[in-house]
Structure 1
Amino acid sequence: MIDELSSMEAQQEVHELIAQQVPLGETLDAIARWIGIILPEAVVAFMRYDPRHCTLSLTPSRRFSLRYTQRLQDIPVGPGVASFGTAAFLRQPVFTEDIETDPRWEAFRDAARAEGLRACWSSPVLTTRGELLGTFGTYFRYPIAPGEPSRRKLRQAAALVALAILRDRDISERKRQEASLRLLQRGIEATPNGVVMADALRPDTPLVYANQAFYEMTGYRPEEVLGQNCRFLQGPETDPDAVEATRRALTERSDVDVTLLNYRKDGSPFWNRLSISPVFDEHDTCTHFIGIQQDITQQRDHEAQIAYQATHDLLTGLPNRSVLDEGLEQAFARARRQGALAVVMHFDLDGFKTINEGLGHHVGNRLLMAVAERLRQPLAEGQTLARLTGDEFGLLLPDLPDREAANALADRLIEALAAPFEIEGRALHISASIGIAGSDDTTRHAHELLQRADLAMGEAKQQGRNTWQWYQGNVQRISRRNVLLRHDLQVALQQGDQFELHYQPVVEAGSGRMRGLEALLRWHHPSRGMVPPGDFIPLAEQTGQIIPLGRWVLERACRDAAELLADGRRMLPVAVNISSLQFRRDGFLEGVQQALAESGLPPELLELEVTESVLLDGADQAITLIDRLKALGIRVALDDFGTGFSSLSYLRDLPIHKVKLDRAFIQDITTNRSNAAIVEGIITMSHHMDLVVVAEGIETREQQQDLVRRQCDLLQGYRFSRPVPLARLKALPDRLPEPADDR
């Protein structure tokens, strides 16, 4: 009777400990004491189950030695794994009457023998849903089998162990969540960013939480914020598109990142980078929105300052050289497309050095500021005045009706500088020498306009200063840089090993199959590196060096094409650009014949590309020479078609077989209806005259598809290949781009 009472008291103690949420170890010790009362000679063991690795581990206690405890760690669950592993696997009790004879104990028999254990009764510890938590076992130091009362008590003990483990797990999870929430709250309060929470289930999505950083950022108090929609931060300059994006995201319960100009309580604006995310409950219902607000006003101001400094001269406030260059590229391209006149003026102040050095740099700086302001006043919208360097200024006039308009403006600018400047009580006089250059047929690149204006400005200096001068072509003096470059070019022509030909494929418009090549000259200067063709080709034309240079290109192109033909893998015509000076020179035809004879290249694989400038000395002479080339089997193409002023008559009169559309028409063919109409008209006219049409400068798939629809024959550009050396050309596939590149 005393044992039964003690058992009931021990069992009641277990229940009270579970209810009091004491640590799991104390509860398990109480269960062990209870089992010790009803089974006095039993040694109680608890093993925890690890679902990640499907293993059991003996819970350390004073009832077992350290060696035995270590042996029973991370034991796999499975049939035949002692009593405990089998019980966990079968989810039912397993009783071993004698460990010495039970084959399931073979791997652990020595350990049990050393511990003095002979019998083991193991029960799985399961939740009501069948989740395995571990095993509860009783060991005996002699062989014994359980009776029915013992089996019943063991089932009760296993249930108590399950209850204790579940209660401990719930407590641990709750403590972990509470710790996480405390950590999260501390993090939210510590962040310099504003954090708000809005109720997604209430009308107008009111704010229900805001951290201290939000109140400091906006200047509002909690009672002015909570319960309000966050739109109270918006103002007259807030971007409506960003507001609409935010509203749409809230409606669709989706994430959104926007940058808004918001307003503080005192009315001052600030730039707010806002990120909003929905919060969903276990039923996938959006209950709240979390908003993180970052004040990026200083960052935006800093970025604006950097952007301004990158594009403006800090002394005068004028745009700098990079802005002028960018505008010049755009104006030049538009002028070529529309046949308009783009003009550049280059200013150099007369006598500024004397003032700057004699009166001090501070006076010179104030004078530059005053000059910039006077030069700016007569200008119209769209005309860009920039400070280039020191006392030099540049002026871009993108859309002038004629040269007379440029002359009139130059007169007004010279007159604007005529009145004295009052600087620190002194009357200072300054004038300017102005060089002027305009786009025309001889201008191939935008940067040439500024170079020519610079040369013309030097001519204005020589004519007495305080005047303007137009660029006069070859009559202008060659700059010192060009003198040095001309010398280096002559050395390169003598040595012959600094030049290389690259080849750009010409492909069939629809299929992309290679149908020809264009030879393009590259100059590897020993100290300057790669010299752009736009720098040395115009110089070579001015100095006459284009003659030996063109001869070298022709001979090398013929040899390379013959090598491709000999390899048996490429039978492609090669196109060589011929300058007008080279074309009109005596002996040109004989030079072509010699290049073909020495290389062994069939004439039908050579194509010569000429521009309208070959007609400057008379169309009849050019037509006769082209007819003689045709008689030899050599074909002639008209390059840069559409950029001159008499293209239609040349198209009618010249005995050519191909026209090449200039890239200026192609670069915006998919967006510029005027250009597209011109291209389609040229293609149609050319086909009616049995001429092949090549479009240059193809860079995108959309441009290719557009030209295929317009029935253009051949295409050339980076879309298919950049100009490459001969060795790389040999490795290119017959079809460009390869299918993998076209996806």
Structure 2
Amino acid sequence: MTQKQHFTGFSQSIYELITQRAPLDVVLNAITSVVENELPGALVSVMLYSPETGRLNMIAGSSFSESYRAAMQDIRVGPGVGACGTAAHSCELIICDDIANDERWRGFHEITAHERLAACWSVPLVDTAGRILGTFATYYREKRKPNDEEIKLIRRAAGLAVLAITHQEEVTRRETSEEQMRLLERGIQSSSDGMVMVDARDPDMPLVFVNEAFTRITGYSQEEALGQNCRFLQGKDTDPLAVATLRRAIQKKQRAEVTLLNYRKDGDYFWNHMVIEPVLNDRGECTHFVGVQHDVTRERENERLLGQYSTHDLLTGLPNRVMFEAHLAEACRQSRQADQKVSVMHADLDDFKPINNSLGYGLGDQLLVAVANRLRDIAPEHAMVAHLGGDEFAVLLEGGTEEQVTECADAMLSEVCRPFDLEGQLLHISASIGIASQHTRPMRPEELMSYADAAVQDAKAQGRNTWHWFEGVATSTSNEYVALRRELMEAIEHEQFVLYYQPIVAADSGIMRGMEALVRWQHPERGFVSPGEFIPLAEQTGQIVAIGQWVLHQACSDLANWNAKMNRRLPVSVNISPFQFRRYGFLEELRKTLDETGLDPELLELEVTENVLMSGVGQGIDTLQKIRQMGIKVSIDDFGTGYSSLRYLRQLPINKVKLDKSFVMDITENTANAAIVQGVITMAHHLGLVVVGEGVETTEQAADLKQRNCDLLQGFLFSRPVPFDQLTATAEAAQSIAD
């Protein structure tokens, strides 16, 4: 289950606490607990703002010590007053990723150090009228910044906190009003609520008194209201059951309490919580009724919003994933009865993250809202447009031909491609759309969603800014694709991957000079899954980035530990996928990995294929130069299988080339391959590069490469890839084979 699905489930219980009028501190502490559960290592607090004092006070935050909670009382609001004081002042998200060195925390450094707090992100709590209510803060004990999903999560949680606070204010006002009503059972006193008195002895029950609050709420003057029955405030949408309840109470001379829809003089509606009480004379006869009107429109609106927030996206106002999937399930059920086809279009914005990173999350949110508005405007009349989260949108179409579906997809691409003018900046973006439909056969809703999601990846692989239609043909291939893709996601979440290592030995001595890290998938049911089966899929779906990050960190950690234990300095080679190499933030990822694992940069070697570099020579060379400046070595893997290699080889800041095994396997029989190998070795040595022969399986191949002055060898002759704990024995065995 994803983080978003977890939070949606937990938030339902928060909504119930709010609507059940649980104490405010209980609700807010429940919200902080939910967020701490979703963000491991986080400590979450809520501070309330007092308009009377202009100060903040921590009310929720059970994970903090009593001393810290006491220190977080009566905090001034203003710039440079920690994260929360600054957030309340600026009404913007404040990110302090290094508290100890942040000038905004001056005066708080001693207490934060004692609490071991290193980072804090604070979101202001602001109601719909722009009124500051407090702050929602997420702390960590290590320095860090939030990612996109974490920011979305804390903004949603902050929205719940705002609802809880405003709802509590409304409930408090209402309870105060009801208490006043009970004190006024035998007479009418001045009140901020609408107060009326009717003559119970007149069959038409005319109004004989209204106070100023009544005239303010309804818009009618005393002269216009007196003499009329209260029914003149009712309209076509007033609940007849609520009216019947009032009439029965009047007939029986009893107290009644209802909430009904009334209308002001200008035609605008308001929700009126009405309480009537009989007034008895000394003989016990009912002579009048006193009525108390309380305008609960804002409270009703809050309750409506509570319901809406469980089904709609807070940012764009579009239906969310929960509502979309519910409508999709109903559409599929009805399609079986009416023989009406259902189509799903899954749209994923291309390169949205760099906009967030470079221009800020505020502008990114504005862009999402603008995209949502355009999609809503161009969608067919009966289509449902939803925001699934992040930069993902979906459209549900019931009925319609294939041509109409593709016309809609083309219109979506055209609208998204038009420039967006936000805060004076002209932004350009595109989208990749995956389409799944029942035009070929009936499908379950979860099938449609899976196929549409898979089609998005195909659209991105085709160059983006296009749509791809996944036919959903019921073949074993497509079913296996969907199943394997799902299992691969589970493998990433549950860390089912392991690393094996294959030694790289000196051609002249057989001494191990390094090793290559190779990932293996240990499936809980199928055992080891071949890399040739899951790596291409991971590259197609983008999951290779998460796998590559894990491999890089694990390999550096393993070699740092092994070198320290063996008192050696052997390097490790790690394969880097094209997606990982070109990904924004890759260089920072390298620095962080080396810092965390303690591996010397000179002992890390990145292997990239020549095709990765040839597809973007300028950018590739720039990235390689920055990698080399960090002290990390670079080799070209599978050398000789790509294009234009020799033309650019001299420009590339690399250390090593690895001869593809296809040249090595028949080097002793194929004179053409032998000539290519010799030419590459000679050329590489003239350029000061080391050459590795891959795929060495026989002593004849090893001897031939050694005779041609190949520097290093790698292959099954010396060792198959082995688990980390077998490295020492493998190194010794490899040398004995060479001897």
* TM-score relative to the length of structure 1: 0.36
Q: Looking at CA atoms only, which structure, 1 or 2, has the larger radius of gyration?
A: 1
